[in-house]
Chain A
Amino acid sequence: MDTFMIRVGPKGDLYKELQKCKYFSERRVTTYVASLARAFIYCHGKHVIHRDIKPENLLIGSQIQEIYRAYGYFLKKDYVIKEKHL
Chain B
Amino acid sequence: MAIIVDHENPPPYEDDSSNSERSFQHPEAISQLVNLNQTVYENPNQGTFRVLDEMKTKSYSFDTDKDTNIYNGNTSYLVTCTTSDIDDDLCKAAELLYGSTYYGLEIDLWSLGCVFAELLTSKPLFPGTSDVDQLSRAVSVLGNINEETWPGCSKLSDYGSISFGNVENPSGLEPCMPNCYPNEVSLVQKRPTTMELLQDKYFREEHLPVPISQLRVPLTRNGQDQDSPGGHNEMGSDYDLEEFSTLNITTTVLIYLNRSI
Residues of A near any B CB (own CB < 8 A): 1-10, 14, 18, 22-45, 47, 49-56, 58, 61-65, 67, 70-73, 75-80, 85-86
B218 to chain A, nearest CB (A): 6
The complex places the Cα of A55 from the Cα of B123 at a distance, in Å, of 11
Check A31 against B215 for contact (C-beta < 8 Å): yes
The complex places the Cα of A3 from the Cα of B57 at a distance, in Å, of 45
Q: Does B258 contact A (CB under 8 A)?
A: yes
A-B interface contact total, Cβ < 8 Å: 195
Contacts of A78 in B (CB 8 A): 33, 35
Contacts of B247 in A (CB 8 A): 7, 61, 65, 67, 86
Contacts of A73 in B (CB 8 A): 31, 81, 83
Check B212 against A33 for contact (C-beta < 8 Å): no
The complex places the Cα of A24 from the Cα of B85 at a distance, in Å, of 26
Contacts of B116 in A (CB 8 A): 29, 33
Q: Does B169 contact A (CB under 8 A)?
A: no
The complex places the Cα of A36 from the Cα of B112 at a distance, in Å, of 8
Check B115 against A55 for contact (C-beta < 8 Å): yes
- Of A30, A34, A44, the contact of B105 (CB 8 Å cutoff): A44
Check B122 against A22 for contact (C-beta < 8 Å): yes
B41 to chain A, nearest CB (A): 16
The complex places the Cα of A85 from the Cα of B31 at a distance, in Å, of 19
- Of A29, A42, A64, A65, the contact of B249 (CB 8 Å cutoff): A65
Contacts of A42 in B (CB 8 A): 241, 244
